[in-house]
Amino acid sequence: MHLAQRVQQLPPYLFAGISKMIEAKRAEGIDVISLGIGDPDLPTPEHILTSLNEAAMDPANHRYPESEGLPELREAIARWYQTRHGVTLDPASEVVVLIGSKEGIGHLPLCLIDPGDVSLITDPGYPVYEIATMFAGGESVRLPLREEDGWLPRLDEIDPAVAARARILWLNYPNNPTGAIADLAFFERAVAWAREHDVVIAHDLAYADVTYDGYVAPSILEVDGARDVAIEFNSLSKTFNMTGWRAAMAVGNAEVIDALTRVKSNLDSGLPQAIQQMAITALDDPRDSITSHNAIYQRRRDRAVEVLQELGLRVESPKASLYVWAKLPANEPSSGEYAARLVNETGVVLTPGAAYGEAGEGYVRLSLTIADDRLEEALSRLSRFAKGESAL
């Protein structure tokens, strides 16, 4: 059997490898605790689930949905952006509903990339940006992110010859995996750069509302003229603990939104309408559940930072995201070897930074999306390991 070259080139998905590591250790009888995957453990709020149950009983929601999403949901998304970001969107032309933001990210290069074109990918970064570009026949050029720059790319250092071939600049703030944030001044520079080089900015805002210490994350669309060059992916997954329901959206430049809608209409049949109804409930309700969830994550963050520092890792408390990004001591050979040693000696899984790109080497990522008792057990093991005590 001949497999397509694009599949032969496809690396294993990052978290599939982590899952295999966990399975192998559990087969040895080790109680493995994974702090590797960012899937919220907190349940979807009950009132949102109630609206899903009610919508599921309506026969109108038992049929194929439209690929672009219900008009009522697109209007709710526009209301959310107006209230949350002060951004006015046309629900008919500047909003499309997605089956999870990952789906939209995967489809976007099919709209903009031809063979030989370039996507500019931040490194470290979410692996799907690069994989989606490869599927479209394009080339990814990595922009290294550095701690001394606050994990922001140096746009002025992009080779003009590369910029001339670039069609997409991928940005993601609050950032996965580093937890870094970007202010409007950075987004203004990015918009100006994209205008100069005729490049579309694809901003991934999945962690916009998982924030701490009073921080409020901006949308790139708050920048004047951003819609001329930018679209933004947003999601209910992390904001409302709805990862399993796959409700998300892309908003912004009408021409790109139209292209994405046309691709989607040929490849999927849209988000089930009962889930769209629950998404409307989530978006139109007060932010009480967001505030209470973030208080839990912030408490976990503070405890995780404390223990990582005991291990001798250098870490700053992130102001956003579900992750803590920590720098290894200088004498550690690699992030992969360090993570493997922790699994072997503590049964705790952290994600090696190198899994997110070469610039992630020397770091590990810890996820806060695990029940409090299991997180405390994992952190207690790491603390005992740091003191030279038996952790298992």
**What type of residue is 154?**
R
- 5-43+289-386 and 46-284: identical CATH topology: no
Cα dihedral angle (16, 17, 19, 24), rounded to 10 degrees? Answer: 140
Q: Which secondary structure element, helix H or strand E, spans residue 168, and what is its range?
A: strand 166-171
pLDDT at 18: 66
The pLDDT score that the predictor gives to residue 21 is: 73
What are the extents of the domains in the chain? 5-43+289-386, 46-284
- Smallest Cα–Cα separation from 176: which of 48, 287, 323? 323
Q: What is the pLDDT of residue 286?
A: 85
Higher pLDDT, 77 or 8: 77
Higher pLDDT, 305 or 5: 305
pLDDT, position 66: 87
Residue 236 near residue 279, CB atoms below 8 Å: yes
pLDDT tens digits for 154-197? 999 999 999 999 999 999 999 999 999 999 999 999 999 999 99
The model's confidence at residue 144, banded by pLDDT at 50, 70 and 90, is very high
| Mean pLDDT to the nearest integer, 250-274 | 97
Closest CA to 178 of 201, 156, 153: 153
Per the CB < 8 A criterion, the answer to whether 78 and 91 are in contact is yes
DSSP 1-21: -PPPHHHHTPPPPHHHHHHHH
pLDDT of 111 reads 98
Asked whether the predicted pLDDT for residue 15 surpasses 90, the reply is no
Residue where the block lists tokens 């909003």? 95
Nearest to 308 by CA among 256, 249, 383, 257: 383
The model's confidence at residue 79, banded by pLDDT at 50, 70 and 90, is: very high
Instruction: Decide which of 6 and 108 is more confident.
Output: 108
Residue 14, pLDDT score:
60
Helix H or strand E encompassing 123: strand 118-123
Mean of the pLDDT values across residues 111-134? Answer: 97
Give yes or no for residue 380 having a pLDDT over 90.
yes
Cα–Cα distance measured from residue 319 to residue 298, given in angstroms and rounded to the nearest whole number: 9
pLDDT digits (tens, 9 = 90+) for 119-130: 999 999 999 999
Give the CA count within 13 Å in the CB-facing half-sphere of 307: 19
Residue 323, beta-bridge partner list: 367
Dist CA 40 CA 220 (whole Å): 25
For the cut 90, the answer to whether the pLDDT of residue 67 exceeds it is no
Whether pLDDT at 385 is above 70: yes
- Using an 8 Å Cβ cutoff, are 36 and 19 in contact? no
Percent of the chain with pLDDT over 90: 89
Cβ atoms within 10 A of the Cβ of 71, count? 12
Q: What is the pLDDT of residue 372?
A: 97
Provide the 3-class DSSP secondary structure of residue 247: strand
State the fold for domain 46-284: Aspartate Aminotransferase; domain 2 (3.40.640)
Q: Is the pLDDT of residue 246 over 90?
A: yes
Q: Using alpha carbons, list the distances in angstroms from residue 41 to 38, 107, 281, 293.
A: 9, 28, 21, 10
Rg (CA), the chain: 21
Give the per-residue pLDDT at 10: 83
State residue 13's pLDDT score.
Answer: 61
Fold of 5-43+289-386: Aspartate Aminotransferase, domain 1 (3.90.1150)
Average pLDDT over residues 59-77: 96
DSSP alpha helices (H): ranges in the chain? 5-8, 14-27, 46-56, 71-85, 101-112, 128-135, 160-165, 184-197, 254-267, 273-284, 288-310, 335-346, 372-386
Mean pLDDT of the 132-143 span: 97
Tokens for 366?
A: 């810890």
Arithmetic mean of pLDDT, 77-83: 98
pLDDT band at 24; cut points 50, 70, 90: confident
Transcribe 358-370 into DSSP letters.
Answer: GGGTTEEEEE--S
Residue type, 237: S
